[in-house]
Chain A
């Protein structure tokens, strides 16, 4: 199903560039592996998606004696973070990378120690350098001030360090240092059972737990070639849309906090709470944990649950409509959003933006439309697009997608009512050896890609998660040229997750 091309490492940039230029492919994910135990070298898998939705994988083996390869980033900028990750975690040097600083491992991590190499024991404790040199380059010049923010913040959020450089209130440059609480989830998954990795996948990030569980399950199902039935897939899609709804509604409410529009923060918070209570009612968990599993779902949506969803979403939709109408008429608020935090279309496109941020800048990327999965049929979802790329556009994309999701939930429920109850879980059985597959899900934040590989005995030998929060790489571009106190607003309009990076 996936077209693969094995090339020599030196041919990577040309092959990838040709794919992008001639077949209009876009880079979906790049995964590095350590295959030395199996008589090979390090593996690099650049997986692209064609406009048709078909996937193409460009694969290269790297000689372990000389672990380096020519960087693809100069011709395919979207590869920039992946190649830095491979350098940190596997110790494979991307020659000619424009930004060779560390990314995942901070400077207090000892040199020459690469946690994703198979000979690194994931349970060991590593002594850190107490006086590391930061990777921040900063801004210099007359009247330039630097404002460091974080990694510990005043609000209850995860750690991230932001260094603003500018004059007065105007920001010239932002550098974001993330990956503070790397949890080694990908390492922990190696050799673990299918169920154990599901448990890990659900805990990568609370707000898109179901998206991650489904993406992982889809990858396992593709490897085993055992696919769940129609009813199960419809249930997955219904619940995934409910996940999108509570996130989108909550994200819009949170955006109001960036402009101190307190009334709207709490009103939106009430709607989000009701959506989460609906989750708990029909799926047994406010954040939809423990619902999906490889082969199917663990819980049926019976007629009563379907009716409950229909009734509650109907009521919440009409309240959300009046909420949004009121918000759009609050000029003091909308005025703050227009022209703030613009992400240019070409930048979003080339750097591999996904999700709401991509679509608000006119880049049509929505896995639900390009690679329909679970209960979705082609044509059921049309990407919501705007072209302005500012905070307002990202808010309006969320608004329109929320309304589309309310409709989609109803369509899916109508189909579900016609499918007779069946076994909810298709047994997966032992996984076949030496396979890999991608699971792709459009989470509320965008495309989540789970890359699962099996080894010689069918065990999980590599688990790589590329979440939509890789959009973090784009935030600094949207902040430059804006006012310092507008950063929270811009940040909340992207609404990215730190934990998604701290895998």
Chain B
């Protein structure tokens, strides 16, 4: 009984940590980009203010909207809340380890995307439909790349389980570095850029509806549902960052309870480094022509495939 309670407690602690940090991470990236572009940028806490404002507002719902439109935010947020429990963050073993592996994680991403893409189509607005169609086209290549990269990494510990892989890397330390891991990391970075809707695949800061991918699907939302969707998108971002941190920069992840404070510091440091990487990529490149985005993700697929091959052959 105590064990069950403890595991529930750990789950809530991890989910709470990620949910609480997610807007801050976005604020940090925005601030870093602003400084890199010679601006002052919004306050670090602005993302929190925006979300709180939205959550307190009523929503305007199109008269053409169906139940899909109303339920999509819940499904979307639920998927990423679950995904947040499948990834090791501070402790090598994720709260839901054993309940779902890399395939489950990618499946949750796909389910969330499916719900949001349907919602984008639901109201019949042209921008929503455009966003959905582009999102699905991008996902067709982003998902296999993510899956292959995770396979290549998880295979080191003999399966598809992310916690086992994380535990393996924590135990092995620097000795675990292999060519396959570098290739998988490159693929993962591209996937993270595409999945978080960043330049050069998408642009999170644009008001140009015709160019939108992720934002296009959200255009019909307002008030609380919009707040939930935005917060869930930020949760997705921090989950992806945590995934990269756990699998490619495993140092500092706790294997004993006394190491948890250090793990927290290490986690924050890793988020900052990844945020800086994203800001640099976004500030130094123009957005790709839409029909060339698949080329970028194709490269991610190829890198992930090479990682898997390297893993099989080198061993």
Contacts and interface: CB of A to CB of B under 8 A. Distances in A.
Contacts, number: 84
Given A266-B39, A335-B289, A147 B126 contact: yes
Contacts of B290: 169, 483-486
A149 B37 CA distance: 30
Nearest to A327: B286
A50 B143 CA distance: 62
A267 interface: yes
Interface string A248-268: 000000001111111101110
Interface string A160-198: 000000001100000000000000000000000000000
Interface residues of B, number: 30
Contacts of B60: none
Contact of A258 (B127, B208, B209, B285): B208
Interface in B276-315: 282-291
Contacts of B208: 154-155, 257-258, 488
Contacts of A146: 126
Given A145-B129, A169-B291, A259 B286 contact: yes
A227 B127 CA distance: 55
B33 A262 contact: yes
Given A145-B129, A260-B287, A330-B286, A488 B38 contact: no
A270 B38 CA distance: 9
Interface string A323-360: 00000001011011000000000000000000000000
A154 B289 contact: no
A319 B151 CA distance: 49
Nearest to B133: A168
Nearest to A147: B126
B212 to A, nearest CB: 8
Nearest to B290: A485
A261 B285 contact: yes
Contacts of A259: 286-287
A33 B78 CA distance: 67
B283 A263 contact: yes
Interface in A31-87: none
A373 interface: no
Contacts of A484: 130, 210, 290
Interface in B170-205: 199-200, 203, 205
A266 B37 contact: yes
A148 interface: yes
A217 to B, nearest CB: 38
Interface string B117-135: 0000000001101100100
Contacts of B286: 256, 259-261, 330, 332-333, 335-336
A262 B200 CA distance: 11
A488 B284 CA distance: 20
Given A259-B286, A260-B286, A149 B38 contact: no
A485 B285 contact: no
A260 B37 CA distance: 12
A484 to B, nearest CB: 5
Given A154-B209, A484-B130, A262 B288 contact: no
Contacts of A332: 200, 285-286, 288
B206 interface: yes
A263 B210 contact: no
Contacts of B37: 262-263, 265-267
A336 B200 CA distance: 12
B289 A260 contact: no
B109 to A, nearest CB: 24
Nearest to B293: A485
B56 interface: no
A262 B209 contact: no
A260 B210 contact: no
Nearest to B203: A260
A261 B205 CA distance: 11
Residue of A256, A259, A265 ringed by the most chain B CB atoms within 10 A: A259
Contact of A483 (B129, B206, B291): B291
B52 interface: no
A487 B208 CA distance: 10
A256 B291 CA distance: 19
Contacts of B274: none
A487 B283 CA distance: 22
B247 to A, nearest CB: 28
Contact of A487 (B33, B38, B210, B291): B210
Contacts of B36: 263
A485 B284 contact: no
Interface in A464-497: 483-488
A209 B209 CA distance: 30
A154 B216 CA distance: 12
Contacts of A169: 290-291
A486 B289 contact: yes
B283 A260 contact: no
B207 interface: yes
B222 interface: no
B299 to A, nearest CB: 14
Nearest to B292: A335
Contacts of B129: 145
Nearest to B198: A260
A281 to B, nearest CB: 22
Contacts of A270: 38
B289 A147 contact: no
A439 B277 CA distance: 55
A488 B211 contact: yes
Residue of B208, B211, B288, B291 ringed by the most chain A CB atoms within 10 A: B208
Contact of A147 (B39, B130, B282, B291): B130
A214 to B, nearest CB: 34
A305 to B, nearest CB: 29
Nearest to B283: A263
Contact of B209 (A145, A149, A257, A336): A149
B288 A147 contact: no
A157 B38 CA distance: 24
A259 B282 CA distance: 12
9 contacts: A149-B210, A154-B207, A168-B133, A262-B282, A266-B39, A267-B37, A484-B290, A485-B290, A486-B290
Interface of B: 33, 36-39, 126-127, 129-130, 133, 199-200, 203, 205-211, 282-291
Interface of A: 145-149, 153-155, 168-169, 256-263, 265-267, 270, 330, 332-333, 335-336, 483-488
Q: Closest 7 CB pairs between A and B?
A: A260-B287, A333-B286, A154-B207, A259-B286, A260-B203, A261-B286, A147-B126
Given A154-B209, A488-B208, 14 more contacts: A146-B126, A147-B126, A153-B207, A257-B208, A262-B37, A266-B39, A267-B37, A335-B289, A336-B286, A336-B289, A483-B290, A484-B130, A485-B210, A485-B211
